[in-house]
Amino acid sequence: MSHHPLYTNRLVHEKSPYLLQHAHDPVDWYPWGEEAFKDAREKDRPIFLSIGYATCHWCHLMETESFQNIEVAQLMNESFINIKVDREEMPEVDGLYMEFAQAMMSGGAGWPLNLVLTPELEPFFAATYLPADASRGFLGVKQLVMRIRQIWNDAEERELVCMQAGKIVDIFAGQVEDATTRVLPPEQQLVDAEELLFKTADPIYGGMKGSPKFPVGFQACFLLQRCKMKVDSRALFYVERTLEMMHRGGIYDHLAGGFARYCIDEQWMIPHFEKMLYDNAVLARVYLEAWEYTHHALYKEVSCQILDYLLEQMQYERGGFFSAQDSDTDGHEGQFYTWSWQELQDQLDGDASLYCEFYGATPTGNFKGRNILHMPQGWQEFANYRRMDASQLKDVIKQLNGKLLEARYKRKHPTKDDKIITSYNALAVSSLVEAGLVLSETKYLDAAEKAALFIREHLWEEGVLKRRWRDGEARYDGILDDYAFMIQASLSLFEADRGTQWLEFALTLVDILENDFKADHGAYYLTNGKDPNLLLRRCEFYDGAEPSGNAVQAENFLRLYQMTAVEEYKKRAEQIFSAAYEHIALYPPGACYHLLTLQRYYNPKVLTFIIALNEKEELKEEITQLFAQFYLPHKVVIWSRGSDEELRDLVPTVRGKEPLEGQTTLYICYPDRCLEPVVTLPKIQEALSNIV
């Protein structure tokens, strides 16, 4: 990033890597806050609000072309109060203005997101990327500034745009207030959603039809669970096709593991190369669940590669995970990840021709004269075609990947956005716990606990969960997602027998949501309502790149209900479902996490396993490994020890479930009854085989 050392603005005092990228723009940026709003009112100027994030390719481009252009900056400084927001630090500001922008631009909004607001923060213009001068069909910043200046200086025009801006806000305010139905989404909704997903599915490359193409996360989990519950071969075909094609594409990093944010084509070939923590946390879980269901080795491999990438590249030494890795190196997109034909020949000597054929590399390349590695054929197809043994092929390719990875490691690395965000970390913790249990891999469980402890130590302050930590500073009150995902992760750590304190922590966070976030209709607002400068408090029901906070919280309540049999938890989950009803009905594919949670709600066979350990804690490992052999997406596991008084207080269901005759005992409970308790490994194994 070329900086103008001559210029320094207020962002220099911020911690966000994105805001710091702009601290030496000649534009006189303010962070979001009172000082900026006061200056806008006093100087009677409109506000130019620009929202982006540190690893966003188009944000870099706009900075270079417009915000570092001295002529543009001068115009902006004379005409506006200019505010920069990191969408990852303030998702509530981003989400609100993104909704406004989509309404004003008739869809198609993305980042960088640029809006012009009145001094009262009401929006009257929105656009995404803007070059300095009008070109290629894009409006230029210079032309925009001149036009807005004209409007602002003409009393009649100004009154008109301010009125319109007020109306936009009123329309959205009306939507927020709507009392939602008090009806639960019927089970039929799950069937309808599944059919709709098939209609929008791409039968050739998997995922959704069309481009740009985003990795498929919770849609796949939803369909896998449909398979489990009613054996639908179409659902399985779609999931398998999607997971295989995503892995074979250029969107996957074949050397180090991990997926890029999205692809610009429909074949998963040409990615924007940034890698986000939240995407990879979600995808690790998807591949893991697919492995649990099918035992197809590829899925386990991909899941482990993603998690190992997170542990090796993205975990801060003290425990938390960083947010993202950039797509650009020195202004060149994908430079770090791509290879020229010559580089491949030089690095791989005599093995180059096999390797280039396997990964579809050519002298002309498929991206700006360079090659994005991808697999035109699957392992088995290629091995057959080459008359090789598939496992021998894998060994050769693995060894060559190691060579290239070493060479790549010597290149200049893309920058990391090293903020530690609570919600993203919590998603990673949940996936790591799941992987640790299913694969009997302690390193994943340890990494999960370390990250969760980091959040408890550094982002939990006097009864408030904070959203972002960087460089010694925890800042911004957490939003619903931070709380809901952290509750989810804490419940998972509790189920993994990492201590009753995780259940206590989850319950503490549940109380805060209840007191500070709850809306009248029983779902939860995105924020705690303490920022006076947010025009509206919204409830969100759709998944974005992360699942909907309300959907995850509904799942948390169902898990708590399974653990404790306290009816109140089930009721709270039902309130969220009712509030989300119309949203789910309107666009089911956008509410996949609600659908996942509804499946749990409607499953008459949800299971709670209580393991009463004897004094020697015998069979603990064996039982954990048995659970790992069965795909039971809606189970809850509670480890009980005679000495744990706290557990008895928090989880009344464990009372009276003791080790029989001094032996570790398994209690299997359905919502309405418990089966005969079982002791000894063969009996436990038999009992589990019977219920699956």
What single DSSP character describes residue 643?
Answer: T
Domain spanning 608-691, CATH class: alpha beta
What single-letter DSSP state applies at residue 308?
H
Tell me if 379 sits within 8 A of 393, measured CB to CB.
Answer: yes
Question: What is the identity of the amino acid at 108?
Answer: G
In 3D space, the residue among 223, 226, 250 whose CA is nearest the CA of residue 239 turns out to be: 223
Q: Are 278 and 321 in contact (CB under 8 A)?
A: no
| Whole-number Å distance between alpha carbons of 295 and 438 | 12
pLDDT score recorded for residue 589: 86
**For the CA atoms of 508, 511, 515, 520, what is the dihedral angle to 10 degrees?**
150
Query: 3-state DSSP call for residue 602?
Result: helix
Alpha-carbon separation of residue 335 from 272, 310, 332, 356, 371 (angstroms): 11, 21, 6, 18, 10
Exposure letters 297-322 (e unless 16+ CB within 10 A, then b): ebbbebbbbbbbbbbebbbbeebbbb
Q: Is 407 exposed, middle or buried (0-12, 13-18, 19+ CB in 10 A)?
A: middle
Do 10-177 and 608-691 share a fold? yes
Give pLDDT, residue 171: 86
CA-to-CA dists, residue 272 to 372, 417, 531, angstroms:
11, 16, 34
* 242-263 b/e (C-beta count within 10 Å ≥ 16 → b): bbbbbbbbbbbbbbbbbbbbbb
Looking only at the bridges linking them, the beta strands covering 47-52 and 81-86 are parallel
Extract the tokens encoding 177. Answer: 């207030």
CA distance 527 to 684: 46
Per residue, the 3-state secondary structure of 384-429, as one string, reads HHCCCCHHHHHHHHHHHHHHHHHHHHCCCCCCEECCEEHHHHHHHH
Q: Where are the beta strands (DSSP E) in 497-612?
A: 608-612
SS3 track for 342-360: HHHHHHHHHHHHHHHHHCC
- Architecture of the structural domain at 10-177: 3-Layer(aba) Sandwich (3.40)
Q: Which H or E element spans position 204? A: none
Count the alpha carbons within 13 Å of 388 in the hemisphere toward its beta carbon: 16
Residue 233 C-beta-side C-alpha neighbours within 13 Å: 0
Q: How far is CA 461 from CA 90, 111, 130, 469, 484, in A?
A: 18, 31, 40, 12, 17
Domain spans, the chain: 10-177, 337-411, 608-691
Count the helices and strands in the chain (H runs, E runs).
26, 20
Tally of CB atoms within 10 A around 366: 17
The structure tokens listed for 141 are 């910043």
3-state helix, strand, coil in the chain (%, to 5): 50, 15, 35
Contact present, 81 and 47 (Cβ < 8 Å)? yes
Radius of gyration in angstroms for the set of CA atoms belonging to the chain, rounded to a whole number: 26
For the chain, which residues score pLDDT lower than 70? 1-5, 106-107, 176-181, 231
Q: What is the pLDDT of residue 109?
A: 81
Question: Quick one: how far is CA 101 from the chain centroid?
Answer: 22
pLDDT of residue 5: 63
pLDDT of residue 1: 45
330: exposed, middle or buried (Cβ count in 10 Å: 0-12, 13-18, 19+)? exposed
The pair of structure tokens assigned to 188 is 């039929």
pLDDT tens per residue, range 482-538 = 999 999 999 999 999 999 999 999 999 999 999 999 998 889 999 999 988 999 898
Nearest to 27 by CA among 61, 75, 62: 75
Residue 339's φ and ψ, nearest 5 degrees, are -135, 135
Q: What is the C-alpha to C-alpha distance for residues 146 and 141, in angstroms, rounded to an integer? A: 9
pLDDT, tens digit, 9 for 90 and up, residues 276-306: 999 999 999 999 999 999 999 999 999 999 9
At residue 181, the pLDDT reads 61
SS3 335: coil
The backbone torsions φ and ψ at residue 170, rounded to the nearest 5 degrees and listed phi first, read -60, -40
Contact 412, 329 (CB under 8 A): yes
Sign of torsion, CA 298 300 301 307?
positive
Query: Model's pTM, two decimal places?
Result: 0.94
Q: Are 514 and 446 in contact (CB under 8 A)?
A: no
Check if the beta carbon of residue 513 is closer than 8 Å to that of residue 147.
no
